[in-house]
A and B are shown apart, each in its own frame.
Chain A
Amino acid sequence: MNVPEVVEYVKGLPDIVHAERNLFTCSEEGISAIKKGIKGHNLNRVIVASCTPRTHEPLFRAACEEAGLNKYLFEFVNIRDQCSWVHMREPEKATQKAKDLIRMGVAKARLLEPLEEVETPVIPSCMVMGGGVVGMSAALNLAEQGFEVHLVEKGKGLGGTLLDLYKLFPTNEQASKLVESAIQKVAAQSKIKAYLSTRVKDVRGFIGNFEVVLDQDGKESEIKVGTIIVAIGAEELKPVHQYGYGKFPNVVTQLELEQRMKKGEFEGQNVVMINCVGARIPERTYCSRFCCMTAVKNATLIRESNPASKVWILHRDLMAYGEDFENYYRWSMEQGVRFIRYDREKPPQVIGDGTAEKVRVWHQLRGREIELPADMVVLTTPLIPRADNEEISKMLKVPLSEQGFFLEAHVKLMPLEFATEGIYICGSARWPTEIAEGVAQAYGAAAKAAIPMRRGYVKPEAITSYVNEDLCGGCGICFEMCPYSAIEIKAENGKRVAHCITALCKGCGTCGAACPSGAISMNHFTDEQILAQIAALTA
């Protein structure tokens, strides 16, 4: 869109004292421009027209506060996420839309009123959902900081996916060593209460005071926590009907291979691994990132344990990011693991009768088809979201991505936290993640959850309802409407009037929408403000 034209237009709107263009208003430079503007022009309202209030409103509000302006006198107009980015081929119309949106924002800003926030306490206790290595790491981190932790695991024991793994890349240490040490630490930590075979049945409330109903084998109990961390992991895709999986007993996934290796039940002289099975395809476009390394590691371990074995990895690309993984990959080649790149258009074929016997693949460099003998075919599949993600996302009122993983508020600005305050995300529930990264994320989520718990209070937005008692007829419709019982009807001077209990009000505004006499409205979203916005729809 034509930003200079928008700036010129805004300068001409009534009550606008100053308008300027910044490339990045959220940068240090942009923030100081806001502060300077407030002081230099003695501004009493500030509007930023840029990305979205969902990510950047707190930053600009803070800038206003630092310059001595109440933060509720700030208004955000979204002309990027909801304008320039969605109308990229229609710059003229997008420019007109931006002008309209800003004009509407100015109309609201004129009527904004300063508001004060009321502190509400935060219970210094966290519920961690998921008792895998990531959930245990988050729980231990918080417990060591002195917070009470409720660690909820739906399985019979702690440990999660790691219980099935054999050895871990890039160190080749035993998975059991890592997971057992974590389980022991959790058991020894008096601040952690672990709930096994337990599901979270219901979550109500807000940051600081969540009321959680747990279901332990049919027995319900209730806990109260200040924050919640989601660390429920993900599961391996089972590639049914692909490459003979389910048809031939010697076609297995990487996880199934590891289970066999762990039990010492692995046998095989010639092993062919096929990577990207069910990944990076139209119906599942993402790369699960660490599965290449899983294949490289398992292939190397087979070569190490049996130098006479032959192991091939058929891959499309190879993801071995970072110094350690790249070194491991090089080392695997030195150990004799053979890599053959295949074309998605000409995928490998698993051939056999009763059991898989060989794999046929188009060799791109040789320009012809080759056949590899196979005692075992191992399919490298991605992690997929857990089936209960949807139920949990509804319960916590946090979003999932289109692929079905949990969606954090902003990948760069608010990683590991949801837009809903007090709820955090880490590990493979967020996105397929290898162990070291997952543990680092667990510490990150724990650090974020510790902030409000350490402070002891939060200041929820002052967006609550208020009653104009002169207009209130005491009909009680608002009382009926409120899902939080935040409205009471009082008799004052012989007249029935509604009264808002601010501490209970969450600010949805349904009372205001229902009031027949216009007596009840919402701070920061008042009838007057919204009606002014609507009236400004056309110039």
Chain B
Amino acid sequence: MNRDKFEPLILGFACNWCAYAGADLAGVSRFQYPPNMRIIRVMCSGRVDPTFVLKAFASGADGVFIGGCHPGDCHYIEGNYKARRRYELLKKMLPQYGIESERLRLEWISASEGARFAEVVMDFINVIKELGALGKRQDQ
């Protein structure tokens, strides 16, 4: 496969208060990044059930991104810490399904970090591009 031509499909979960707002600010500030990610808004990164992540990979995502508030800043006190625990477990679990753990990324992005949102997403897209397509898309 031509790596340059490969355009990964990434599913993102962004918490309403920080990461989603940061993504909006990236837009308001017109920070440009490649259009590979589709975001699902959740109220808190702590809402992201590990099942959602597995379902995303099963549904054709080459990478899954979770964006939450910085440690100490969670709108719901500690939802981001819960997200981090599940993230660590998922990272251990994914290779057992033949999914590289780098395909899952958790980042803390505040509502004022529009530039950081764009940078982090760009970086993640590049990581997934390096890894190539996941699952059935590889067979095509």
Contact = CB atoms under 8 A, between A and B. Distances in A.
A85 interface: yes
Contacts of A531: 51-52, 55
A394 B108 CA distance: 14
B116 to A, nearest CB: 10
A525 B78 CA distance: 19
Contacts of A496: none
Contact of A533 (B34, B40, B74, B118): B40
Interface residues of B, number: 56
Interface string B103-123: 000000011111100100000
Given A506-B76, A508-B43, A402 B55 contact: no
Contacts of B41: 53, 78
Interface string B45-81: 0111111100110011100000001001111111100
Contacts of B110: 399
A90 B34 contact: yes
A138 interface: no
Given A54-B21, A419-B17, A81 B56 contact: no
A508 B46 contact: yes
Given A85-B28, A87-B35, A512 B47 contact: yes
B86 A86 contact: no
- Highest count of chain A CB atoms <10 Å: which of B9, B24, B42, B110: B24
Contacts of A80: 27
Contacts of A97: 35, 38
Contacts of B48: 513
A132 interface: no
B38 A104 contact: yes
B56 A94 contact: no
Contacts of B30: 85-86, 88
A151 interface: no
A510 B50 CA distance: 11
B44 interface: yes
A397 B32 contact: no
A71 B43 CA distance: 17
A483 B59 contact: no
A537 interface: yes
B85 to A, nearest CB: 9
Contacts of A235: none
Contact of A78 (B32, B39, B46, B59): B39
A86 B111 contact: no
B40 A86 contact: no
Contacts of B31: 86
A363 B77 CA distance: 58
A54 B112 contact: no
Contacts of A481: 82
A91 to B, nearest CB: 10
B23 interface: yes
Contact of A534 (B52, B77, B118): B52
A196 interface: no
A13 interface: no
B28 A81 contact: yes
Contacts of A400: 112
B42 A525 contact: yes
B125 interface: no
B133 interface: no
A489 B55 CA distance: 30
B26 interface: yes
A100 B112 contact: no
A407 B38 contact: no
B47 A100 contact: no
Interface string A517-530: 00000100101001
Interface in A54-87: 54, 78, 80-83, 85-87
Interface of B: 7, 9, 11, 16-18, 20-21, 23-24, 26-28, 30-35, 38-44, 46-52, 55-56, 59-61, 69, 72-79, 82, 86, 110-115, 118
Interface of A: 52-54, 78, 80-83, 85-90, 93-94, 96-97, 100-101, 104, 394, 397, 399-402, 407, 419-420, 463, 481, 483-484, 506-510, 512-514, 522, 525, 527, 530-531, 533-535, 537-538
Shortest beta-carbon contacts, A-B, top 6: A509-B47, A81-B27, A510-B46, A508-B76, A399-B111, A85-B27
Given A86-B35, A483-B79, A510-B76, 9 more contacts: A78-B41, A87-B35, A104-B40, A407-B112, A484-B77, A509-B43, A513-B46, A513-B47, A522-B43
16 contacts: A78-B41, A81-B26, A81-B27, A86-B32, A87-B33, A88-B30, A93-B35, A101-B39, A397-B69, A402-B115, A483-B78, A508-B47, A513-B47, A513-B50, A531-B55, A534-B11
